Amino acid sequence: MIDEEKSIRGPRFHQKVKVKQTSSSYTQFTPPPPPSRTLNKVRVFAQFKATTQTPTPSSTTTINNNNLNKFDFSDPDWKTKFQQDFEARFSLPHLTDIFPDASPIPSTFCLKMRTPVDRDIQGHYSSDEDWHGYINNNDRVLLKTIYYSSPTSAGAECIDPNCTWVEQWVHRAGPREKIYYKPEEVKAAIVTCGGLCPGLNDVIRQIVITLEIYGVKKIVGIPFGYRGFSDQELTEVPLSRKVVQNIHLSGGSLLGVSRGGPAVSNIVDSLEERGINMLFVLGGNGTHAGANAIHNECRKRRLKVSVIGVPKTIDNDILLMDKTFGFDTAVEEAQRAINSAYIEAHSAYHGIGVVKLMGRSSGFIAMQSSLSSGQVDICLIPEVPFNLHGPHGVLSHLKHLLETKGSAVVCVAEGAGQNLLQKTNATDASGNVVFGDIGVYIQQETKKYFKEIGVHADVKYIDPTYMIRAVRANASDGILCTVLGQNAVHGAFAGYSGITVGLCNTHYAYFPIPEVISHPRLVDPNSRMWHRCLTSTCQPDFI
Ligand SMILES: Nc1ncnc2c1ncn2[C@@H]1O[C@H](COP(=O)(O)OP(=O)(O)O)[C@@H](O)[C@H]1O
Ligand SMILES: O=P(O)(O)OC[C@H]1O[C@](O)(COP(=O)(O)O)[C@@H](O)[C@@H]1O
Ligand SMILES: [Mg+2]
């Protein structure tokens, strides 16, 4: 709906344009006709409903309650309404939402660049050849791929109480044939926020390389997270392929990281002053909340700026993605600590090894590391409550393990069992609650317990958290970082903003930021993966 005229203020975009008030509908997606298998599934539901009573969700059923309260599942049209709502929620904010007259140009991104002679006068590569390597704006990726025939199926993620099959499509990431920025008018900035994570340098490197392939000359790094936008002593870091060529060979971030920082309005002031019109933000939940706020502020000020997130969280706590970069590396590196704890415990008389791994509210690293190592007897995560003391507590099980196996290994996520510790009431500069040290607590309580019952126990505690976070990305994360970095640049040139990029059922997709950070992604205690972990450790419930 075009209904008003406003003046655009922006780093390099001053003109009068007509403005859309709604932020949706950059392209209208018509879902493809359902394949025959889908039709079969619908028939299965029909049979199911006809021959059985409506199943009630059991304790093993996950009903996604995000946005579901507004649907009346007795309405025969609820599925259509759900899909329409889903499509609106996952439509990607685009520059044309506020600049409907912005006209795209043919992409300058081309893979046919054999020799420098192929470049035009400004160093671009010609893309007027008949090349079919582009993503169509209507391409989609299926978000959920399992059809659960019953809400009682293990790990079932259901929308309605019958667990009806509903296709949920998200936007496919990649280079578009038409782009909304002239490379010579782009000043791109990269910022890395929050804590460290393996792979940050790989993503920075790929963003720079891809920007250069589009023909961008002005690329800078903002030092030390959002703080770099306001701290006068911190100056922009000029970036080029030459600068970033080897940075992925070491961990950390070339640009530095930080928590806390200036208000969003100050960050956007700084973007305007610096003439930045593409901002690539690497960070977790908090950083993405900031990126989305920056995107909204840019829209409010009518700036032609693309803000693109790349999810960075070693905790793997971003919604809807197969995994985030750095997580794989963390799991791999954690093996060294778990193995050391095992060797120590196994070599001692009545040895107990305790390893603490990162995971503020999500126990993915602890769960996957325990599964992978096969050396862990007790895995404790924030999502699953446990008692230390009492007949069903962890300590009593440790006693049993010493009696039966002679040694034991405990792997605990940092956010687990916080209810057992005194609250610190402290927060870090970003507002995250500072946790008590559950690893130290378990070590102390274990020593105390075995002393009290007069049983010898040799307890060794390993906290490898910062050693894990600082390593360079492994090969698998290296690939993930590479593709995410490239897709971030493609998303910006395609004219999107307020989006992030992630791996979705082995494909790469763009998501509107709010959809992936509404809450941290958690381990589902009813999921197959957690059940597999329990099968592997043979641990009982500790409640
Ligand atoms: N809700 C928010 N709105 C705007 N900025 C935020 C918000 N939450 C966090 N930030 C900023 O994002 C940055 C990183 O946040 P933090 O929680 O430390 O790490 P992460 O992004 O890894 O979760 C910090 O500079 C912080 O000030
Ligand atoms: O000591 P720091 O830098 O605050 O980092 C500790 C935090 O970093 C993390 O590993 C990841 O946190 P972020 O995703 O917010 O960077 C958490 O598990 C942990 O609580
Ligand atoms: Mg966080």
The answer to whether residue 291 scores a pLDDT higher than 80 is yes
Report the 10 Å Cβ neighbour count for 353.
28
Angle, CA 92 vertex, CA 90 and CA 96 arms, to 5°: 145
Give the residue numbers annotated as catalytic, written as ranges: 315
Closest protein CA for atom 6 of ligand 2: 195
Regarding predicted confidence, which is higher, 479 or 155? 479
What sign has the CA pseudo-torsion 504, 507, 509, 513? positive
Of 128-142, 406-420, 478-492, least confident by mean pLDDT is 128-142
Lining residues, ligand 2, CB within 6 Å: 194-195, 284, 313-315, 358-360, 414, 428, 469
The answer to whether residue 131 scores a pLDDT higher than 80 is no
Q: What is the mean pLDDT of residues 262-287?
A: 98
Q: How confident is the model at residue 68 (pLDDT cuts 50, 70, 90)?
A: confident
Closest protein CA for atom 12 of ligand 2: 195
Rounded to the nearest whole angstrom, what is the distance from the C-alpha of residue 357 to the centroid of ligand 2? 11
Polymer length in residues for the chain: 543
Q: Is 315 annotated as a binding residue?
A: yes
459: CB partners within 8 A, 6+ apart: 351, 352, 354, 443, 446, 447, 450
Q: If you write DSSP's letter for every residue of 98-141 in order, what string do you get?
A: H-TT---EE----S---SGGGB-TTSPBP--S----PPPTT-EE
Does the fold of domain 327-471+526-537 match that of domain 77-120+133-326+474-504?
yes
Report domain 327-471+526-537's class.
alpha beta
- pLDDT for res 423: 87
Atom of ligand 1 nearest to the CA of 258: 25
The answer to whether residue 228 scores a pLDDT higher than 60 is yes
Q: How confident is the model at residue 348 (pLDDT cuts 50, 70, 90)?
A: very high
Lining residues, ligand 1, CB within 6 Å: 193-195, 225-226, 259-261, 264, 283-287, 289-290, 293, 313, 430, 432
Q: How confident is the model at residue 133 (pLDDT cuts 50, 70, 90)?
A: confident
- pLDDT for res 38: 33
- pLDDT for res 49: 29
The answer to whether residue 83 scores a pLDDT higher than 70 is yes
What predicted TM-score, i.e. pTM, was given to this entire model?
0.87
Q: Is 285 annotated as a binding residue?
A: yes
Q: What is the mean pLDDT of residues 362-386?
A: 98
Q: Which long-range contacts (CB under 8 A, 24 or more apart) does 28-31 make?
A: 29/87, 29/91, 29/138, 29/140, 29/169, 30/138, 31/83, 31/140, 31/167, 31/169
What would you measure as the largest C-alpha separation in the chain, in angstroms? 82
- pLDDT for res 124: 53
**Ligand lying nearest the CA atom of residue 314:** 2
Read off the pLDDT of residues 387-440 as tens digits, 9 standing for 90 and up.
999 999 999 999 999 999 999 999 999 999 999 999 888 999 999 999 999 999
Pocket probe for ligand 2: among 257, 313, 435, the residue whose CB has the most ligand atoms within 8 Å is 313
In which element (H, E) is residue 512 found? strand 507-512
**Ligand lying nearest the CA atom of residue 195:** 2
The answer to whether residue 125 scores a pLDDT higher than 60 is no
- Percent of the chain surpassing pLDDT 90: 82
501: CB partners within 8 A, 6+ apart: 173, 308, 309, 310, 311, 484, 487, 488, 491, 508, 509, 510, 511
Rounded to the nearest whole angstrom, what is the distance from the C-alpha of residue 159 to the centroid of ligand 3? 28
- pLDDT for res 6: 32
Closest protein CA for atom 15 of ligand 1: 286
Domain residue spans of the chain: 77-120+133-326+474-504, 327-471+526-537
In which element (H, E) is residue 365 found? helix 364-373
Q: What is the mean pLDDT of residues 462-490?
A: 98
Rounded to the nearest whole angstrom, what is the distance from the C-alpha of residue 503 to the centroid of ligand 2? 22
The region, left, alpha or beta by phi > 0 then psi within -120 to 50, assigned to residue 353 is beta
Q: What is the mean pLDDT of residues 493-507?
A: 98
The answer to whether residue 53 scores a pLDDT higher than 80 is no
**What average pLDDT does the chain have?**
87
Rounded to the nearest whole angstrom, what is the distance from the C-alpha of residue 261 to the centroid of ligand 3? 14
Q: Under CATH, which number does the domain 77-120+133-326+474-504 receive?
A: 3.40.50.450
Regarding predicted confidence, which is higher, 4 or 410? 410
Closest protein CA for atom 27 of ligand 1: 260
Q: Is 498 annotated as a binding residue?
A: no
Q: Is 10 annotated as a binding residue?
A: no
Rounded to the nearest whole angstrom, what is the distance from the C-alpha of residue 432 to the centroid of ligand 2? 9
Q: What is the mean pLDDT of residues 180-185?
A: 98
**Ligand lying nearest the CA atom of residue 437:** 2
- Percent of the chain surpassing pLDDT 70: 84
